[in-house]
């Protein structure tokens, strides 16, 4: 229980950082933080806010799909499908963390859950996710993303890396005990 509370606090911190950053952008554009659903009518689909340097802009854009705009062409059912799907994934991750996760899995799963919940809040509030970090080189742009996306991608990368290292340790342990 105690170990889970530490990770729950990290999840809450990720959600707060994600939501505060998005609400700050909404405030800069509209002069106020819109309530549920109102931001979609107040803010244009894509809006250049500032060119920070030659390879980075702060933009404002709505993402109606999954990470990096995947599945954004699902039509009017997209918000409901994304909310249900994300809710199921987050529920599974939290249940797994509570019941079975190994120590090396906890931080990556915490990052993934916190980021997914941050984006889920946007989907419930607005029907889409706010993305604002835009990296580019010349005319080639990486899809815009947000703090929640950074946490999700970092968590997945750490999870895969930890899985590979744990598997390698297991194989080496078997070899050292005289197994094949």
State the catalytic residue, choosing from 18, 122, 134, 149: 149
Q: Which of 129, 128, 132 is nearest to 59 (CA)?
A: 132
E strand or H helix that includes residue 58: strand 56-63
Annotated catalytic, 131? Answer: yes
Quote the CA–CA distance of 106 and 93 in Å, as a whole number. Answer: 10
Q: Quick check: is 23 catalytic?
A: no
CA 26 to chain centre: 19
Catalytic residue among 18, 122, 131, 134: 131
Beta-bridge partners for 140: 137
Report the alpha-carbon distance of residue 132 to residue 49 in Å, rounded: 9
- Reading the block at residue 20, the tokens are 């505060």
- Listed in sequence order, the residues at least 6 apart from 12 whose beta carbon sits closer than 8 Å to its beta carbon are 114
Contacts of 90 (CB under 8 A, 6+ apart): 113, 116, 117, 120
Residues annotated as catalytic (active site), given as ranges: 131, 149
């Amino acid at each position: 229980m105690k170990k889970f509370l530490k990770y729950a606090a990290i999840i809450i911190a990720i959600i707060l950082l994600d939501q505060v950053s998005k609400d700050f952008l909404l405030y800069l554009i509209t002069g106020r933080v819109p309530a549920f659903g109102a931001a979609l009518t107040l803010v244009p689909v894509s809006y250049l806010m500032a060119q920070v340097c030659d390879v980075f802009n702060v933009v404002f854009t709505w993402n109606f799909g999954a990470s990096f705009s995947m599945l954004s062409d699902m039509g009017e059912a997209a918000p409901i499908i994304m909310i249900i799907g994300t809710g199921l994934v987050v529920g599974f991750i939290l249940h797994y963390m509570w019941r079975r996760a190994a120590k090396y899995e906890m931080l990556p799963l915490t990052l993934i859950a916190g980021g997914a919940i941050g984006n889920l809040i946007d989907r419930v509030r607005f029907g889409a996710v706010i993305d604002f970090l835009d990296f580019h080189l010349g005319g080639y742009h990486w899809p815009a993303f947000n703090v929640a996306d950074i946490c999700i991608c970092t968590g997945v990368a750490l999870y895969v890396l930890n899985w590979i290292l744990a598997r390698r340790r297991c194989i080496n342990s078997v070899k050292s005990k005289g197994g094949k």
